[in-house]
Amino acid sequence: MRNVLSTALLAVLLAGVANAQETTGAKAEEVKQEILKIETDKLAYRLNHRGSIEDWNKQYDAVGIAVTQPNGARPSGSEHVAHLKDPNRAKLRTNNQFGYQVRVYDDAKIAVATYNGENTFSTDAEKDKITTQKTLDTDVWFKFPDGMWRRIVHDAAPAAGECSGANAGFIQPRKE
């Protein structure tokens, strides 16, 4: 029975993916600008120039967001926010995100943002031990019925050969 249900679900999902086409035109351009503003505003929060990144995550991350970090960890949304509040975690010292591309789908209800990231981290105890992290990031945004854009997926993949080091600021992967 489980295989039948799984096969049926997969067929429905694949049919939706096969029919997915990028939305274009004025509506898509408006959505791209909205998502770019949210994404670039995040930088000020990440460096604590405007509130905190926890504030940004609470405002824009959907409950149950799927997060994958460059080291393979997949924290829940609440684990991710708790980690950001941990005073002993490696702190973000510099943040550079560039090369943004936004694609819009499903009559402008879904947007996929991709970008490159280059960040440096260190702990408060070892500020001179800097770890550099280069990532290829993907954020999937969904416009909820209340009109609010919320991030439902955040995937940060390591750029070739990057993201190693003890101070990279990641939650450690679960041992499964």
pLDDT of residue 98: 93
Looking at the domain assignment, is residue 166 inside a domain? Answer: no
CA gap 106, 29 in Å, rounded? 14
Looking at the domain assignment, is residue 12 inside a domain? Answer: no
Looking at the domain assignment, is residue 5 inside a domain? Answer: no
CA distances in angstroms from 48 to 57, 98, 156, listed in the order given: 13, 19, 21
How is residue 153 annotated by DSSP?
E
CATH, residue 148? 3.10.450.50
Looking at the domain assignment, is residue 174 inside a domain? Answer: no
For residue 84, the enclosing domain spans 25-158
Structurally, the chain folds into a number of domains equal to: 1
Looking at the domain assignment, is residue 136 inside a domain? Answer: yes
Looking at the domain assignment, is residue 6 inside a domain? Answer: no
| Torsions phi, psi for 12 (to 5 deg) | -65, -45
Mean residue pLDDT of the chain comes to: 81
Q: What is the CB neighbour count within 10 angstroms for residue 98?
A: 8
Looking at the domain assignment, is residue 17 inside a domain? Answer: no
> pLDDT per residue over 12-33, tens digit each?
444 455 456 888 999 999 999 9
Whether pTM > 0.75 for this model: the answer is yes
> pLDDT per residue over 109-156, tens digit each?
999 999 999 988 887 778 788 888 899 999 999 999 999 999 999 999
